[in-house]
């Protein structure tokens, strides 16, 4: 079956300082929604094995995890706002630490990326403005159009900030090394940043200073609660995933990079615009990374359409301090060892990314030198 063979990295196995941690290498497992939660936002027991298998990464960032019941929008995605959820996450963290790894939990709020079939009864979506996203979501009843959200008022915005603070505190209690605030890919914070989804005329709309206020205030609150050196932020400059657009997209990432550089964060995590959600775009897009690097002085993690050569180049050039791989980690639980030795990479079948069970999640084999790596698809970048 087709496999992807990469050169042995020159820079990826150097240690990296991230906040209060020294990572054993510069390889990050990127957050990836995998839709394996059970009951009401409770992570499946499978997460314990899934993340432990991939603990060779210098840092794991978990799949996006809801900060409250009302933050959910997708089907079978986990939360971190109850002790029952924490109990499963705690076991996953302990296994990762036992394997010598480090792990942050990515915290998110879906905002208007929501369908009632995916959540408990009586819940409604919220967003900066009552504008539905032009997207269809996977539900137990097939693909469905996203719902029209309610506009968040000042009190609601404050409540969401408090939910992020509460989830961050619970993450520390569960043993996570830190949290990543999901401000990318068209979810709630990103909806506030873009004028296609934010038509407000109050303190959270209009200028980029106002549109970024919600994210920056929440980030500050989380940093004050658990320490800035335990907090990362993920952004997707120039991204349009989940139906967000802005007439001045450069203004968004320039402002965020400038404002976040003085926060003392563990890192800023940038998704290059060549990737949209789980897909690689074919048309070339201008790369905002050089300008972001000039504005952001802290640790910078970069994800999106990378292979070993391009990852080494980003580190050589100073454009990245660490690099995140997503899809490669799905089919290769032992990715770091495969890269270290130049062993071929298996490529997972996209059709089973979201199967809901162990298939396509925890059933991928480690590489054995006596046999070729198995694969169910053609090679891709990640």
**187 included as an active-site residue:** yes
Catalytic residue among 74, 187, 253, 267: 187
Token pair recorded at residue 304: 């999106």
- State how far the Cα of 235 lies from the Cα of 272, in Å rounded to an integer: 9
Q: Are strands 322-325 and 275-276 parallel, antiparallel or unpaired?
A: unpaired
Which residues participate in catalysis according to the annotation? 187
């Amino acid at each position: 079956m087709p496999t992807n063979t990469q050169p042995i990295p020159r820079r990826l196995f150097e240690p990296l300082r991230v906040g209060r941690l020294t990572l054993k290498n510069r390889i990050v497992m990127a957050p990836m929604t995998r839709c394996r939660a059970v009951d009401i936002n409770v992570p499946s027991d499978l997460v314990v094995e899934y993340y432990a298998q991939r603990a060779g990464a210098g840092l794991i960032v978990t799949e996006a995890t809801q900060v409250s019941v009302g933050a959910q929008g997708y089907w079978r995605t986990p939360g971190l706002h109850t002790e029952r959820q924490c109990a499963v996450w705690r076991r996953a963290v302990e296994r990762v630490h036992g394997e010598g790894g480090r792990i942050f939990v990515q915290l998110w709020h879906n905002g208007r990326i929501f369908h009632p079939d995916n959540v408990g009864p009586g819940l409604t979506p919220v967003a900066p403005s009552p504008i539905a996203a032009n997207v269809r979501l996977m539900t137990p009843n097939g693909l469905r159009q996203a719902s029209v959200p309610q506009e968040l008022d000042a009190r609601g915005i404050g409540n969401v900030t408090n939910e992020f603070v509460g989830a961050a505190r619970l993450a520390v209690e569960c043993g996570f090394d830190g949290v990543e605030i999901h401000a990318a890919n068209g979810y709630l914070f990103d909806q506030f940043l873009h004028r296609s989804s934010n038509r407000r005329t109050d303190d959270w709309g209009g200028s980029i200073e106002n549109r970024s206020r919600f994210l920056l205030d929440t980030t500050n609150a989380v940093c004050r609660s658990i320490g800035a050196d335990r907090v990362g932020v993920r952004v997707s400059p120039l991204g349009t995933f989940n139906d967000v657009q802005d007439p001045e997209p450069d203004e968004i990432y320039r402002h965020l990079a400038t404002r976040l550089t003085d926060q003392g964060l563990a890192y800023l995590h940038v998704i290059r615009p060549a990737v949209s959600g789980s897909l690689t775009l074919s048309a070339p897009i201008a790369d905002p990374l050089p300008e972001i690097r000039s504005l952001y002085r802290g640790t910078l993690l970069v994800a999106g359409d990378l292979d070993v050569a391009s990852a080494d180049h980003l580190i050589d050039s100073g454009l990245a301090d660490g690099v995140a791989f997503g899809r490669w980690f799905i089919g290769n639980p032992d990715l770091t060892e495969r890269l270290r030795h130049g062993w071929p990479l298996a490529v997972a079948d996209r059709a089973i990314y979201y199967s809901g069970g162990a298939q396509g999640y925890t059933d991928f084999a480690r590489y054995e030198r006596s046999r070729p790596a198995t694969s169910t698809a053609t090679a891709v970048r990640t």
